[in-house]
Structure 1
Amino acid sequence: MEEEISLFNQLSSDQKVVAQKYKVIVRYLDGFTYQEISDETGFPKGTISKLIAKFKTYGDVLKNIHSNAGRQKILDEDDKYFLEQQLNNDRQTTLKSLQSSLSEEMNKQVSLSTLHRYEQEIGSLKLPLHRPLLSNLNKIKRYEYSLKHQKSEFKNYIFMDESYFTINRITRRVFVFHEEDRPIVEIYNPQETAMVWAAICRKGKVCIEIIEGSINKESYLQLLQRHFPESGDQLYGRGKWQLLHDNAPAHKATVVKDWINTVTKIADHPPQSPDLNPIELLWNTMKNEVEMRRPQTKQQLCSFILESWQNLNEKTINSYIDHKKTIIQKIIEQQGNNQF
């Protein structure tokens, strides 16, 4: 056995793969299960199934390699280098543009399918992450805020925000084998939506409400008055807590600020800084949980939202608040920017 391992280790990477493929067949003929073969070779069971099927059909696990023997490669190393340079210079270039450039610059005629296969070998198309463009003034405000709160634990803060949930949120990726068709997910009609407002703090959940209609300064003030100051006073004592929300127009309205100042303090919060409100992480968790359950009606949507809220615990919420300190440190390192 030790001699077998020693010989195996002397093989090149390609030779090791070939040896493992033949080992699959040997173990299969010896009566090993797919799981046992997978544990020994490292191949997933899907690959093992295909190797055995190929062996049964052609009597060889290397049929594709043998059938291509001697075939000249369509793209040589110079072609590949040229394509990589083109993709590096223009990350949004199309396959047709690459095809045209390859023809003009390298005098090489290549099909779009060949270019697509090579493009997939060296990378993949991904949507860019969206980040707001920060003004210089707001970068300074974010930086100063982070310096001020670098050691803050936010123990008496109540973080608030509102967000939309929809029944047709589909963000979870699905693994698809090359031989399979792209999966289809049904879209429910109509596209029902629910606006949800919630508040959290170091002591856990504070309150939640599903809102009918839109938020303006009048409806936002009424919303706050339904829950405060009672919720804050019960948690921290009368007036010993702070409300933190972002700079949405309804939040900044004079009538709203004046009322909050009669019952407690408004925590400072720099503009263009959703990353500094830990409740954004809560929304992401809740939306993922609701999405996994695939609500079909608004009634189901609202029910799943409230069940997700009920499942949240104090430890999870505190992890979101602790993450705020990590963001603060990154903002300091980037001098107020959000490119991290």
Structure 2
Amino acid sequence: MVKSREWSRKTREEVITLHRKGNGYKKIAKMLNIPRETIGSIIRKFKAKGTVETLPGRGRKKMLTSTAVRYLKRRVEKSPRVTAEELRKDLSDVGTEVSAQTIRRTLRNEGLHARTPRRTPLLSPKNKKSRLHKPQKFWDSVLWTDETKLELFGPMDQRYVWRRKNKAYEEKNTLPTVKHGGGSIMLWGCFASAGTGKLQRVQGTMNSLQYQEILDDNVMQSVTNLRLGRRWTFQQDNDPKHTSKSTRAWLQIKSWNILEWPSQSPDLNPIDNLWWDLKKAVAVRKPKNVTELEAFAHDEWAKILVDRCKTLVSSYASCLKAVITVKGCCTKY
């Protein structure tokens, strides 16, 4: 038997009001654009029950009890990677037969949605503990450093075209692409609260020796230009070139104050935000070749405002607090 449509309370009240005014079934049906049989059914039920309210027991029964729903919520909150099929089998074991689709719908109604997990560095207990190491108080004296890859036609070079359907491959609606990004450059850069420091292109594949040469050519000049003072601190991540035996020996000779850096911690370096700014700015200028790519990079790096640098460093404390809150795990920073 096909279940009849459940009309809204407002519609049922309109039917009764029009009927009380002396309108017949046919006229009411025409006025409200509702089948005549439905008009008769609403009026008969009103006469029998004295109300237009939906009677208890009407409507589709819930597939899952409140207890089962609570179980599902607890299960996915404790084990976010559990599948709907695994949950279905769990319920089946206790006598509740529902489909995996019903489970997905129930969880969505409870505000729990299946999402692709964010990819983050694998953090060991040792990694997490090192993140909680209390940092120095005066971040303004830190020189932040890192490398980044800049592509000629990289992911930042996102463009759109207005076109009609089935016109995607007309020449004016296409963007020529080159394999592997059409060329790229690797850059080393640094900054502090006082602004951006030196930016240098890495020639070929950087090894420990070239890294040391880059530091020798750029670090102290940046420290001087940014007026970091004698008690400045050098920051670098744990890239193998940065921590190799020869680089450690080279840094020891330099006697720089080096910030202890936890392993697998890309989201703790505020320079990543400047790399993002740089790539967006360069992409807007649409460099045609690697030479322009490098030139535009230097131009845009020099344009980064001191206030932007200062904000990144001043908000670093919030980043560390977030790390502490999640007990050393990855954060949004």
Against the structure 1 CA distance between its residues 291 and 59, is the aligned structure 2 distance closer, same or farther, given a 3 Å change threshold?
farther
Query: Whole-Å Cα distance in 2 between the matches of residues 194 and 116 of structure 1?
Result: 46
Q: Percent identity?
A: 18
Contact 1:145 1:270 in 2 (8 A): no
Relative to structure 1, is the Cα distance of residues 215 and 103 closer, same or farther in structure 2, using a 3 angstrom cutoff? Answer: same
Q: 1:163 aligns with which of 148, 152, 162?
A: 148
In structure 1, C-alpha distance between the alignment counterparts of 2:235 and 2:79, rounded to whole Å: 42
Map of 1:200 onto structure 2:
191
> Could you tell me which residue of structure 2 aligns to residue 77 of structure 1?
65
| Residue 125 (structure 1) aligned to one of 110, 114, 122 | 114
Distance in structure 1 (CA, Å) of the matches to 2:100 and 2:234: 60
- The whole-number CA distance in structure 2 between the counterparts of 1:255 and 1:266 is 17
Please give the TM-score of this superposition, normalised by the length of structure 2: 0.57
Residue deviations 1:11-69 (CA, integer Å, cap 9, x gap): xxxx9xx9xxxxxxxxxxxxxxxxxxxxxxxxxxxxxxxxxxxxxxx989xxxxxxxx9
Which of 260, 267, 271 is the aligned partner of 1:269?
Answer: 260
Structure 2 residue identity aligned to 1:75:
M
* C-alpha separation in 2, matches of 1:82 and 1:330: 30
In the aligned structure 2, how far is the partner of 1:216 from the partner of 1:187? 34
The structure whose Rg is larger is 2
1:325 maps to 2:314: no
Secondary structure of 2:147 counterpart: strand
1:339 CA drift (Å): 6.3
Match of 2:76 in 1: 87
SS in 2 for 1:271: coil
Q: Tell me the distance in 2 between the aligned counterparts of 1:275 and 1:117.
A: 35
**Does the 8 A contact of 2:198 with 2:219 survive in 1?**
no
CA RMSD between the two structures = 4.4
What's the CA shift string for 1:228-265, capped at 9, x where partnerless? 43333343389674432223222234544555566672
> Closer, same or farther in 2 for the Cα pair 1:71/1:282, shift >3 Å?
same
Aligned match of 2:138 = 153
Q: 1:108 — aligned with what? A: 97
Question: Residues 323, 222 of structure 1: CA spacing in aligned structure 2 closer, same or farther, 3 A cutoff?
Answer: same
Change (3 A) 1:94 1:227: same
**Contact 1:194/1:210 (CA < 8 Å) preserved in 2?**
yes
Counterpart residue identity of residue 157, structure 1: V
One-letter code of the match for 1:154? W
In 1, are the aligned partners of 2:143 and 2:192 still within 8 Å (CA)? yes
Q: Offset of 1:317 from its aligned partner?
A: 0.7
Counterpart-to-counterpart distance in 2, 1:117 and 1:291? 44
Alignment of 1:162-241 (within 5 A): 162-165=147-150, 169=155, 190-192=179-181, 194-236=185-227, 241=232
How much has 1:110 moved relative to structure 2? Answer: 3.0
Aligned residue for 1:229, secondary structure, equals helix
3-state DSSP of counterpart to 1:220: helix
Task: Give the CA deviation at 1:319.
Answer: 1.2
* Inter-CA distance 252–145: structure 2 relative to 1 (3 Å threshold): farther
- Unpaired segments of 5 or more residues in structure 1? 1-14, 19-57, 61-68, 173-185
Counterpart check, 1:96 vs 2:85: yes
Unaligned runs of 5+ in 2: 1-7, 11-31, 35-53, 159-174
Provide the rounded CA distance (Å) in 1 between the counterparts of 2:282 and 2:226: 32
Q: Contact 1:131–1:338 at 8 Å: present in 2 too?
A: no
Residue correspondence of structure 1 range 53-64 to structure 2 within 5 A: none
